[in-house]
Amino acid sequence: MKGSADISDTASTHDASESGYRGEALKVLKAVHATVGDLVRITSKSGPIFEGIVMPRPALSTDELHIVIKQKSGYNVGVDIEQGASVVVLKRASEEAGGPRDGHTIAAPKRVVKGLPTVGLLSTGGTIASKVDYKTGAVSPALSAQDLYDVVPELGDVANVRAEIISNILSENMSPETWSMIAEAIGKRVIEGGVDGVIIAHGTDTMHYTAAALSFALRGLPVPVVLVGSQRSSDRPSSDAAMNLVNSAVAAGKGPFAEVTLCMHGEIGDSFSLCHRGTKVRKMHTSRRDTFRSINAKPIAKVQQGKVEMLVQEYEHRDPKRELHIQAKFDGKVGLVKTYPGITADLIDSLIDEGYHGIVLEGTGLGHIPEKLYESVKRANEEDVVLVMTSQCISGRIDMNVYSTGRELLAMGVVPW
């Protein structure tokens, strides 16, 4: 039993009450002997009818008035039963024990459909590959790439997916060494051939750093490389995992571009996804599903209803004959210092003392830092530590020629970016 959030495992070991349901919701489920994993139809008093798989609730949940089901679309919904509702069990999870699920719920994992593109799915970890601990309500990484494919059956409608776990690293623990590992894994897939594109499932916290690193590491890409994550785990109501996975598979399988991009929700609803250039994208909101935004650039493509629409005219075109070169050596001795009022030379000096080779200065405005750091800037220059200036403003360009302070920093060897 590899993960307690796996529907079939849960269904075989828990009844509804053990899966977090209580009060009215538990009563309604028990009345028809429905358990987690069953396919049900819920008719609410106010009208709407929902069909889907009963999902477990966190043990710490105090909600007694919603039944959470995973719909055929892959999208979870919490059905309000406060005004009363009737539940019909369409198919019991126990009927399927030991065998593959039917098409309605779980796609046969190894089915290969002719005419569909083949996409490599490399899972690195993060929310999109996470499960909820139903005892504590906390989210931790667990689902395998195969699980992702299992819980999002629509993936099978857009691509033949070859899933593989290459790591189980939380987004915040990613590092330059991980970037190299991921670049090599992508390279292996692409150079072996047989894939029309590659998806990287990744935690969202630092996905844009990885996207930028891969953009520099993968030279001469013949096919699209698409990073994808999820802001809400795949067994939560309102999870964005299913749509993000499906649309990233469309982008990787059919997108006409051969660049590293990041594909996530284009707005808070579920209408479309956007593909952002790996070097131009940033996580801009802690929780919104459309958290990723292109900065100082337009997204390069829009993915909607199985189609990829290019939003820019200039891009690297898909070309299966192009030869991939991997340059994935990252220097771990590069630091970042964000300046702020009152900053002293301590931070920069400590990195110089530790033998760093380069420091990114996240200065203010057009590229400025406090005067009292100038001595450390000179010292860095003398000791061949490269200082690169960027701005904490987020948007806009650095311009160190406007103010005399910027010009002084240029004269001291600071590189504008």
Q: Binding residues for a copy of itself, per CB under 8 A?
A: 133, 138-140, 170-176, 178-179, 204-206, 209-210, 213, 283-288, 291, 330, 332, 334-344, 346-347, 349-351, 354, 362-372, 391, 393-399, 401-405, 407
Report the residue number, 86 or 180, with the smaller CB distance to a copy of itself: 180
Q: Are 312 and 280 in contact (CB under 8 A)?
A: no
Cα–Cα distance, 42 to 99 (Å, whole number): 26
Cα–Cα distance, 327 to 178 (Å, whole number): 14
Bridge partner list, 200: 122, 227
From the candidates 235, 283, 290, 291, which is the catalytic residue?
Answer: 283
Closest of 241, 242, 261 to residue 308, by C-alpha: 261
Report the residue number, 65 or 393, with the smaller CB distance to a copy of itself: 393
Q: Are 131 and 19 in contact (CB under 8 A)?
A: no
Cα–Cα distance, 83 to 46 (Å, whole number): 7
From the candidates 10, 124, 178, 204, which is the catalytic residue?
Answer: 204
306-312: Cβ within 8 A, 24+ apart: 306/158, 306/250, 307/250, 307/254, 308/250, 308/251, 308/254, 308/255, 308/256, 308/275, 310/256, 310/257
CB of 376 to a copy of itself, least distance (A): 12
Q: Is 10 a catalytic residue?
A: no
Q: Is 283 a catalytic residue?
A: yes
Q: Is 105 a catalytic residue?
A: no
185-188: Cβ within 8 A, 24+ apart: 185/122, 186/120, 186/122, 186/214, 186/218, 186/225, 187/218, 187/324, 187/326, 187/328
- The Cα diameter of the chain in Å comes to 78
Report the residue number, 89 or 139, with the smaller CB distance to a copy of itself: 139
Report the residue number, 106 or 398, with the smaller CB distance to a copy of itself: 398
Helix (H/G/I), strand (E/B), else coil: 180: helix
Closest of 355, 365, 412 to residue 388, by C-alpha: 412
From the candidates 63, 133, 205, 349, which is the catalytic residue?
Answer: 205
Lookup: tokens for 395: 């948007």
Q: Is 205 a catalytic residue?
A: yes
Report the residue number, 21 or 179, with the smaller CB distance to a copy of itself: 179
CB of 142 to a copy of itself, least distance (A): 11
Helix (H/G/I), strand (E/B), else coil: 407: helix
CB of 167 to a copy of itself, least distance (A): 13
Bridge partner list, 320: none
Chain length of the chain: 417
Report the residue number, 23 or 137, with the smaller CB distance to a copy of itself: 137
Count other C-beta atoms under 10 Å from residue 162's C-beta: 18
- The residue type of 100 is P
Rounded to a whole number, what is the distance in angstroms from the first to the last CA of the chain? 50
CB of 377 to a copy of itself, least distance (A): 13
Helix (H) or strand (E) holding 187: helix 176-192
CB of 342 to a copy of itself, least distance (A): 5
CB of 329 to a copy of itself, least distance (A): 13
CB of 115 to a copy of itself, least distance (A): 39
From the candidates 35, 105, 124, 127, which is the catalytic residue?
Answer: 127
Report the residue number, 97 or 336, with the smaller CB distance to a copy of itself: 336
What amino acid positions are annotated as catalytic residues?
Answer: 127, 204-205, 283
